């Protein structure tokens, strides 16, 4: 459980020291605290003061100790995003008393912040669909010359001021948030054994309905039905059906495969992360429905 608990020895005099761990033959672990050597005269005494911490990797507790112990909580490259997300989740949970509901509320807020960008992206994909007849003619005309085909297509995009990768932008801009949550959810003691509803009793672990005694391909133990993950995959499929098809056939094929890829990918992810992506998909579907009605 080293992801949730830690041991720290801190010198009170800010001296350099090292800690050495040794595993004994009987399986016990011996911890040795080593300080710089001292030169003492006869009958002279020296006292070394230090603080020993054995407890949870709780950001607030470690900050309260004022020993720079909060540095022990590091979420890697996405630390600058992950810690504010963790603080926000704790704040929401203080009022909602449920980390699942806190994740849903956080997802809604993130979606609102990204609304202008995703709205523009969806509009761009709508415009791209209108150009498909012209794009088909260009591909047919220059099918023997790939370089000229790409040049003509890029000229068409420039003329109509369309970004050919616009359909991928909503997913790309969320990657930092996704990976930050990927680091936070399974490594924060706040989410350890945090229940949501029904069978989801630990948001830091993969969701499993029932327990099977046999192995399931691509699935890490425990083995069961990943209901939330399957619902998430279905929501991605529905979202793809509602989203205008990209003009580039290769991009369109890639987008259609994403629901399948993500479903297998998310099988072993924390259920809290699956919940975040599912809610995000549902909000995207609602947004796409609204845009489709406006455009007609």
CA dihedral 97, 98, 101, 106 (to 10 degrees): 80
Better pLDDT: 220 or 225: 225
CA distance 117 to 207: 31
Whole-number pLDDT of residue 15: 67
The number of C-alpha atoms within 13 Å of 136 and in the hemisphere containing its C-beta is: 6
Query: pLDDT per residue over 223-240, tens digit each?
Result: 888 899 999 999 988 888
Neighbours of 272 (CB within 10 A): 28
Number of neighbouring beta carbons within 10 Å of residue 9: 14
What is the per-residue pLDDT across 185-197, written as a single tens digit (0 to 9) for each? 777 888 888 888 8
Kindly tell me the burial class for residue 32, based on how many C-beta atoms sit within 10 Å of its own C-beta (0-12, 13-18, 19 or more). exposed
Query: Does position 80 have pLDDT exceeding 70, yes or no?
Result: yes
Q: What is the pTM of this model?
A: 0.73
Amino acid 155: pLDDT: 84
pLDDT of 161 higher than 60: yes
- Kindly state the DSSP code that residue 161 receives in the 8-state scheme: T
Tokens of 269: 């992810």
* Integer Cα distance of 98 and 90 in angstroms: 10
Interval 121-146: pLDDT, tens: 767 767 777 777 887 788 788 878 88
DSSP 102: H
| CA distances in angstroms from 169 to 73, 77, 291, listed in the order given | 31, 21, 16
**Residue 256, H or E segment:** helix 249-266
Confidence of residue 171 (pLDDT cuts 50, 70, 90): low
């Amino acid at each position: 459980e080293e992801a949730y608990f830690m041991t720290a020895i801190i010198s009170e005099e800010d001296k350099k020291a090292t800690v050495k761990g040794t595993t004994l033959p009987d399986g016990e672990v011996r911890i040795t605290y080593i300080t710089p050597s001292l030169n003492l005269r006869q009958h002279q005494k020296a006292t070394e003061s230090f603080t020993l911490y054995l407890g949870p990797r709780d950001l607030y507790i470690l900050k309260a100790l004022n020993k720079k112990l909060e540095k022990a909580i590091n979420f890697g490259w996405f630390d600058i995003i992950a810690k504010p997300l963790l603080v926000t989740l704790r704040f929401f949970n203080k009022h909602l008393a449920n980390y699942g509901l806190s994740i849903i509320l956080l997802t809604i807020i993130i979606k609102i912040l990204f609304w202008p960008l995703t709205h523009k992206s969806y509009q761009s994909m709508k415009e791209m669909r209108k150009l498909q007849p012209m794009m088909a003619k260009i591909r047919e005309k220059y099918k023997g010359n790939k370089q000229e085909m790409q040049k003509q297509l890029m000229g068409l995009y420039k003329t109509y001021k369309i970004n050919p990768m616009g359909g991928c932008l909503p997913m790309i801009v969320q990657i930092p948030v996704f990976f930050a949550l990927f680091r936070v959810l399974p490594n924060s003691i706040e989410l350890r054994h945090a229940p949501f509803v029904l069978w989801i009793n630990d948001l830091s672990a993969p969701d499993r309905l029932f327990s099977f005694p046999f192995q399931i391909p691509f699935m890490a133990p425990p083995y069961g039905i990943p209901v939330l993950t399957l619902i998430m995959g279905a929501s991605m499929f529905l979202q793809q059906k509602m989203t205008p098809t990209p003009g580039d056939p290769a991009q369109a094929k890639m987008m259609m495969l994403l629901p399948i890829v993500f479903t297998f990918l998310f099988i072993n992810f924390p259920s809290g992360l699956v919940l975040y992506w599912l809610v995000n998909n549902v909000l995207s579907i609602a947004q796409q429905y609204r845009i489709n009605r406006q455009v007609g």
